Structure 1
């Protein structure tokens, strides 16, 4: 972080602007949306500024002495330096438009939603990038958030009187922003929203805990759903597994309590029944719990077992799906799981049995169906049982030269891919054992990886040439 984003209160404060032309006009447009008292000086400039009558001269040092801060906005670097010297003599905080080396602070690209404002800054190094990032964020924040921010502004002083404890207020805000009151506020019915919210604040009742089973996706944090991101920012407690990387945990609420319950083959750091007990215990304490699982909770994530345990304990539980590893790896490698010419169906299986003895009791899978031609088979957790998988498929009619793509750490920066065939799969994995989570894509579509990979390589060479 090159600079620290700050919020500068302007109610009743004086801001001085010194500049000319469009550079000055743009800053005036921004600051006129604030409650600041504006003083404008524009030496040797005949331009008119809507709603503002500027002093057509340089200010004196004394005229800057009570300014909260000063903005110098000249296209001419020499004039900008002269303005800088003047402000330095007055010892006031300074922003110099498009000359960050001369000033004390930068003004970020701003998303304005009434009392809610969001600044996007790059430390003054890339303002165009900041504006483009602002545009993307702005598209994701509906205009109705302005009404919600007005509601929050009007509610806040009442809450300070009703709920003097900071933690109580925080918990109340977390609940009210996802409630009927917030829905009414977004519709502009703020008086009704305030009535409901204040009634709840006066008689809050016991706080009920809740558990959210949330899919973290295959690894790339940009593949998180918007809902997953919101729940991570609201969680009191996060219970996460081995497949959830640091880049995703960095997006979670900073002060949330975190429990690592990762599992690896033959190494369950926390047994499943203890995970159930932990989720129930934390929810009964009235906490908002996020059970964060790699991929999707309901695709080989034992989410079904956890839902059953939570419902049996009377705990409210909600599911937020994630992009499962099969879909993430298919997209990352440009290998379609279905294709009109190569595969008209797809199956997902796990290579790990509940009792850990997949080799001798491989879940009574329908190997005849799984071995069908023009059918894609995706195997989760199949690295250590690849010999059994290869034997069973070839035994039931799958060709030994059927392509297999092994994708390790799919969608992550350290993703690796190995293309082999069904008969050579066990030896390939023994010679190049994956160190991270890996997925097997078995079927005719896997050969498309070689085609797309070759096309990409040729395209890269052409760009270099």
Structure 2
């Protein structure tokens, strides 16, 4: 497959580097292993029960047990599980022999330090309950849909926050997920025997996941899944890949749709614009190849023809390609040209809309773009033609109507022309106007004022970041929300989001 050479960029085409982690999340197999718990408190009992639930043989060292701990050990013995061995004595160095991990509830730092030192000497990882500085590992807050297990850690800084996150996740993961995960475990080897590694196998499991968040699997589910696996293997040998145009929104990763995240997680290759934020790319599949193809501020970049050819070439090689565009792909994103090119080549195209910058700006300013007291129409207008100037065919008299809200995209470098043309078309210089740079990002900047101050405002904000200009009486609300007195207008507000 011929791959086009990309222009130099300051963002690596390889998968993004893992961001720093406070702790390494590890899921530890303890089935049949010897573990020790020192202490007979309720807190120690909870940790002992957790370890026993993982199939460990729990040796408890305590000369006195709380009522709940004693009851736990008794119930385990009565049920025949026999997961607990109670040693009616305090721990010693010999207690660590053959242990996989050790947990203790210590009364003070001195006792914790002694237990920690003994564990280190024996080569056994140690956890001291509620004493992070003597812990070599920590227990997270757990969402249990075993074999699906989710653990949340705040590195000991905010256990209440971890519990709140767990409650949120609990509402997202249906109880039926447990049955689907068990089914996945059962059929994995059968599926692998039927489907070749790579895209076909991943496609099967993506379809599996779509069903896993629905009703419980029925009696015929396994048979149906294995039949679909055989069909996928047959069609995969002659299949072409597909391209998905995905809207990345204005920058804030939390504004992505769920469908956009799923597309990023399924991609083999991601062709992304320069304006797509690192936070959005962080949500993509780790193994996906990432290729910067965007244009911005006159920097070296791929031509549209190169981007089209690249998508065609990758899709014909069987790749699942995501064309990741800032904002919404169908608004000033040249999506029409890309769709036409792909359809001409017989390549399937999906489109995932995104939050366009105008909507994000309205939300940030608390402004309704079509507030019925001010505007009966809203227009999105490009402030940048192919030549780098304002488009020649704009109807400025129409744009200057008082009952219209107008949002200019990519108008930073033409702000002075926009101001002049609107004034010449009859718009009042006192018309409320806003300018927002780097909307929703950490370096977001705003200006709120009137049309007469537009050119100077953009000069102050700068055009290194994407600039959005809003003109219309609806923005009088934004002015009232931010000014402290009439004399403060216009002003520039730069703030961290």
* 1:270 partnered with 2:298: no
Match of 1:5 in 2: 25
2:368 maps to: 336
Partner deviation per Cα, 1:38-78 (whole Å, 9 max, x = no partner): 33333322423344244443244444322221211346556
Q: Distance in 2 between matches of 1:377 and 1:129?
A: 42
Task: Determine the C-alpha separation between the residues in 1 that align with 2:290 and 2:250.
Answer: 20
Q: Is 1:177 the counterpart of 2:205 in the alignment?
A: yes
For 1:403, which of 432, 438, 451 is the aligned residue? Answer: 432
Label 1:388 to 1:255 Cα distance change in 2 as closer, same or farther (>3 A).
Answer: same
Unaligned runs of 5+ residues in structure 2 are: 1-20, 75-85, 489-497
Distance in structure 2 (CA, Å) of the matches to 1:227 and 1:19: 49
Change (3 A) 1:119 1:208: farther
Contact 1:295 1:323 in 2 (8 A): yes
The secondary structure found in structure 2 opposite 1:292 is: strand
Residues 449, 479 of structure 2: 8 Å contact kept: no
1:405-444 equivalence runs, <5 A = 405-430=434-459, 432-444=461-473
**CA distance in structure 1 between the partners assigned to 2:220 and 2:55 by the alignment:** 27
Alignment-derived partner of residue 150 in structure 2: 118
Question: Contact 2:36/2:95 (CA < 8 Å) preserved in 1?
Answer: no
Which residue does 1:137 correspond to in 2? 169
- Alpha-carbon deviations, 1:390-446, whole Å to 9, x = none? 233233332122121111111101011122322332344346532210000111232
Q: 1:46 to 1:382 in 2, by over 3 A?
A: closer
Could you say what secondary structure the match of 1:417 adopts? Answer: strand
- State the partner residue of 1:52: 73
Helix, strand or coil at the partner of 2:67: coil
Equivalent runs, 1:289-308 vs 2, <5 Å: 289-308=321-340
Post-superposition offset of 1:143: 2.9
Q: What is the CA distance between 1:382 and its match in structure 2?
A: 1.4
Q: Mean alpha-carbon deviation: is it higher for 173-182 or for 151-160?
A: 173-182
Deviation, structure 1 residue 387? 3.5
Is residue 193 of structure 1 aligned with residue 205 of structure 2? no
- Which residue, 441, 452, 455 being the options, matches 2:481? 452
Residue 232 (structure 1) aligns with: 264
Residues 342-392 of structure 1 deviation map (CA, whole Å, 9 limit, x = unaligned): 334321111123x42654x533x3433322213211110112223442233
Corresponding position of 1:150: 182
Q: 1:454 to 1:37 in 2, by over 3 A?
A: farther
Q: Is the 8 A contact 2:445 2:461 kept in 1?
A: no
8 Å contact kept, 2:370–2:376: yes
More divergent stretch after superposition (300-309 vs 448-457): 448-457
Q: Which has the higher contact order (CA 8 A, sep 6+)?
A: 2
Q: CA shift at 1:31, angstroms?
A: 3.0
Aligned residues: 450
Once structures 1 and 2 are overlaid, which stretch shifts more, 123-132 or 283-292? 123-132
What are structure 1's unaligned runs of at least 5 residues? 458-465
Range with bigger deviation, 230-239 or 435-444: 230-239
Provide the C-alpha distance between the structure 2 equivalents of 1:109 and 1:6, rounded to a whole number of angstroms: 13
Report the equivalent of 1:375. 404
- Distance 1:109-1:312 versus aligned 2 partners, 3 A rule: same
Task: Kindly indicate whether residue 133 of structure 2 is the aligned counterpart of residue 101 of structure 1.
Answer: yes
Deviation at 1:214, TM superposition (A): 0.8
Give CA deviations for 1:223-251 in whole Å, capped at 9, x if unaligned. Answer: 22222222222211000012112222233
Query: In structure 1, what is the Cα distance between the partners aligned to 2:139 and 2:459?
Result: 56
Using the TM superposition, name which of 410-419 and 265-274 deviates more. 265-274
Question: Which residue of 2 is the match for residue 462 of structure 1?
Answer: none
CA change 1:186–1:36 in 2 (3 A) is farther
Match of 1:320 in 2: 352
Residue from 398, 422, 428 that aligns with 1:393: 422
Aligned 8 A contact 1:280 1:310 in 2: yes
Q: 2:452 is paired with a residue of what secondary structure?
A: coil
Deviates more, 1:97-106 or 1:291-300: 97-106
Once the two structures are TM-superposed, the CA of residue 29 in structure 1 deviates from its matched residue by 4.0
Which stretch of the first structure deviates more once superposed, 130-139 or 3-12? 130-139
Q: Take 1:107 and 1:170, find their aligned partners in 2: how far apart are those partners?
A: 35
Partner of 2:494: none
Structure 2 contact 64–88 (Cα < 8 Å) conserved: yes
Q: Secondary structure at the match of 2:333?
A: coil
Aligned twin of 1:352? 384
Q: How far does residue 32 in structure 1 lie from its aligned partner after superposition?
A: 4.0
CA distance in structure 2 between the aligned counterparts of 1:120 and 1:181, rounded to whole angstroms: 22
Larger CA deviation: 240-249 vs 265-274: 265-274
Stretch of structure 1 that moved more, 386-395 or 241-250: 386-395
